[in-house]
Structure 1
Amino acid sequence: MALADITGAEIIKAIEECDRLGRETFLRTHGFKRARRYLLSHNGRLYDSKAIIGVAHAYLLGQGPLEARAFSGGADHAVALLRKLGFAIVDSFGAEWEAYEWLLSRLDELKVNRSSGRPLLYQPIALFWAIGRAYRGEARILSWTATEEAVRSLLDRHGMRGERPRPDYPVAALYHVGLWELRDHSDSVPTAHGDSALRRWFADNRPRGGLVESAYDLLHRSGEARVAAIDTLLSIYFDGLDYGPLLHDVGLYDNEIADDLTADGIEPLSPVITAAQYERLCRIVEHQEGENRGRYTPDTSYNPFRSGTARRAVLLRSKGVCENPNCTGQPADVTAKGTPILEVDHVVDLACGGRDHPSRMVALCPNCHAIKTRGRSQEELRAVLLEVARERHIHWITIKDD
């Protein structure tokens, strides 16, 4: 293996192969994962920097592709080589924040159909379906037949304001605001107005489509972006409606909904970034449990979407360490995947009047969790943990001002 032998010509060949195969097939074929931080920018498109280097090696005379484990993709290795060869590198921490802001601004600016006097649910139902697919890592681009059947069924079951089972309405609307991609059509896409002409266009063209790639990738990776997008749509469209069955149906009513996609080699976030994330997640939790909570859903004691968001905030705050100040377990141990062995728990159970909020929740190792749940000293520990949760919440809300 000699990374130094790779030139710009081999990099271009690897890029061209990625373009031919498509990103997912390219990565799967060569055994690489998506880059979490550093991306190669070329002709307006982004590529996984480590995978490009690994495949470029195969274009050297007499060589084959490198395995992902054979070299580092970090700033001092693969990224340094690409920069030396004159290629532009994008730090996806900054790029991800821009994508996050872009996505939420698009959702905030959706043209809401209020022909019935209240916002119709065509667009959010289609978006929730697509967000669920992104969350699970399912195919981004589908045939029109598959999209039509899935979205029609959801509209039929969850259209609570007189929506007709017409998937062409939301897909056309989302296409024109830049959130949906449509392929394989010969005519320009009509606006989401009228009736027979719109129906006929989709019947004649049968375009493949799905969320635009930047939104799909962000919603797949980032739990914070996922819950922020869902909360934005709920606040615009679902006042007074029980959204639980819809979120459950599309796979978004989940305690892990706010978790990030784990990947090898993720660099730890700085305390300031973590504090900002913590604050944003808390705002979503508070919006969900606020004065509109009872109008959103009758299930006010347990809501997996709200609980999952609060759980993620607590895990961020804990930085992988048990929050019991007197922990005697194995707080430094990790799972086989390298993640902390922590369980997020309500200090006071919801059934006993506890609050689904990070200020009343803690991250505990299994031993401390068992003591808190059934230990002889559980009452004393609960009192300690209540104060710990309160103090840590205040600290992380205010740390950005330090």
Structure 2
Amino acid sequence: MAMTDITRREVEQAMAEFDRLGRDRFLQRYGFRRAVRYLLSHDGKLYDSKAIVGAAHGFLPGQQPLTWKQLSGGAKHAAGLLRRLDFSVERGGGSRPHEDLIDRIANLRVNRASGQPALYQPIALLWAFGRARRGEARLLSWSETEDAIKALLERHGMRGERPRPDYPIAALHHAGLWELHSHTGSVPTAKGDSKLRRWFVEQHPSGGLPELVYNLVRHSAETRLTVIDVLLGTFFQDLEYGPLLTDVGLYDANVADDGLDTGEQQDEWKEQANLAAQYERWCRIVDNRENENRGRRVPRTAFNPIRSSSAHRAVLHRSQGRCENPDCTGQPTDVTDAGQPILEVDHVMDLALGGRDHPSQMVALCPNCHAAKTRGRKREQLRATLLDVAMERHTALRTDEETE
């Protein structure tokens, strides 16, 4: 028998053995290493895809498990087999999950018959990202998913999208960005009309974001803001996306919060080698959202939570938890309830007076220095100093990133 003779039954037997033995003992028993690129995701658990396929072969009648040598170079083939059996396979299992997710979203295949990208998949993803951000259930019944996405398509289908949730969900499933459970047979491709609709009505699958994607969007502010920025820049150019993001809960001043505790925050700031790279990523989001209004007549003070949240986060990251006033006489050693330093991000030049909502014109200040900058007799002198500090630190970090 060949690897292609493996069915869902053998894979499920291998997963059951994985659960019984635990990951390390399972891999040791079959002689496989931990997966780096491909993980099988099933019922909220992750499995090493290549090892699972190798073990599954041993559950075929009269067959032995396949060794890593027999599957050498076959990780993609193992992943392909699992996908053909309608399992969900994650890319980036151990190396660069953030980068892999961004790459998949940027390269989504969408209908462009009108000359512009259709918004079915982006709208469905933004809805799911909003749920992940709030910590809501990862998997939902088809009726719940259908009702929610249908309503969003009706309200925000800015390029004539029909209220057909089955289109984006089928497409996202085949792109590895959506799990579907509790059904039989393969999920049809996002083509045709009545056949696709009938499959979802008859199968009524539950589904949602893969676990790795859900957790990244849930816990990583960097990933959350980056995927939103990529979707907006790729699919929503020249469109007013604010109402949609508001509807799905991704358009407020706290969208960049990720709930790091004190220890995690300090560990993040201690990674000096990554400071410039991380700062650059935040600033790039700010620049993208700022550039979208070039050529448009919009108020200088127009509030964009994606830009503002990214700028706020960039400044805090740049400050490394310390007041950026060079003449600061001391800041509180206490922290907030969330474990954050008591710092206030401030626009050195008020937006209404021509300032920019940009890290190059923003600083992190302790409460005393913030009060001095706002109400002190020497506030204008301090404002000039802080503007120089903000620009110097901003330029230095972005230059460091360019030269690495």
Same fold flag (TM > 0.5): yes
Secondary structure of 1:293's match? Answer: coil
Secondary structure of 2:96's match? Answer: helix
In 1, Cα distance between the equivalents of 2:285 and 2:95? 17
Look up the match of 2:230: 232
Secondary structure of 1:382's match? Answer: helix
Give the drift of 1:112.
Answer: 2.1
How many corresponding residue pairs? 319
Deviations 1:168-211 (A, max 9, x none): 11111100000000000112111111111111111111111111
Against the structure 1 CA distance between its residues 306 and 299, is the aligned structure 2 distance closer, same or farther, given a 3 Å change threshold?
A: farther
Deviates more, 1:255-264 or 1:210-219: 255-264
Against the structure 1 CA distance between its residues 231 and 97, is the aligned structure 2 distance closer, same or farther, given a 3 Å change threshold?
A: farther
Which of 144, 165, 168 pairs up with 1:167? 165
- Which of structure 1's runs of 4+ aligned residues deviate more than 4 A? 11-16, 94-97, 294-300
Give the 5 Å matches for 1:378-389: 378-389=379-390
Look up the match of 2:96: 98
1:359/1:390 contact within 8 Å kept: yes
Give the drift of 1:329.
Answer: 4.7
Give the drift of 1:315.
Answer: 0.7
Give the 5 Å matches for 1:119-130: 119-130=117-128
Q: Percent identity?
A: 58
Matched, 1:212 2:231: no
Look up the match of 1:64: none
Unaligned runs of 5+ in 1: 1-10, 17-40, 46-93
2:261/2:338 contact within 8 Å kept: no
Deviates more, 1:320-329 or 1:190-199: 320-329
In 1, Cα distance between the equivalents of 2:261 and 2:167? 37
Look up the match of 2:329: 328
Give the drift of 1:263.
Answer: 3.9
2:334/2:342 contact within 8 Å kept: yes
Amino acid of the structure 1 residue aligned with 2:234: I
In 2, Cα distance between the equivalents of 1:243 and 1:387? 34
State TM-score, norm by structure 1.
0.74
In 1, Cα distance between the equivalents of 2:297 and 2:153? 19
Deviations 1:262-311 (A, max 9, x none): 24642334111121110111111111111x32589956622111000111
Look up the match of 2:351: 350
Look up the match of 2:320: 319
Look up the match of 1:308: 309
Against the structure 1 CA distance between its residues 296 and 165, is the aligned structure 2 distance closer, same or farther, given a 3 Å change threshold?
A: farther
In 1, Cα distance between the equivalents of 2:342 and 2:377? 23
1:220/1:261 contact within 8 Å kept: no
Deviates more, 1:356-365 or 1:392-401: 392-401
1:278/1:396 contact within 8 Å kept: yes
Give the drift of 1:44.
Answer: 2.3
Which of 172, 179, 182 pairs up with 2:180? 182
In 2, Cα distance between the equivalents of 1:287 and 1:42? 35
In 2, Cα distance between the equivalents of 1:396 and 1:131? 30
1:243/1:296 contact within 8 Å kept: no
2:336/2:342 contact within 8 Å kept: yes
In 2, Cα distance between the equivalents of 1:189 and 1:136? 29
Tell me the C-alpha RMSD between the 2 structures. 2.5
Amino acid of the structure 1 residue aligned with 2:163: P
1:227/1:257 contact within 8 Å kept: yes
Look up the match of 1:86: none
Secondary structure of 2:313's match? Answer: helix
Amino acid of the structure 2 residue aligned with 1:159: G
Secondary structure of 2:324's match? Answer: coil
Against the structure 1 CA distance between its residues 348 and 215, is the aligned structure 2 distance closer, same or farther, given a 3 Å change threshold?
A: same
Look up the match of 2:152: 154
Look up the match of 1:260: 258
State TM-score, norm by structure 2.
0.74
Secondary structure of 2:125's match? Answer: helix
Matched, 1:293 2:293: yes
Deviates more, 1:320-329 or 1:169-178: 320-329
1:321/1:332 contact within 8 Å kept: no
2:346/2:362 contact within 8 Å kept: yes
2:259/2:338 contact within 8 Å kept: no
In 1, Cα distance between the equivalents of 2:338 and 2:157? 41
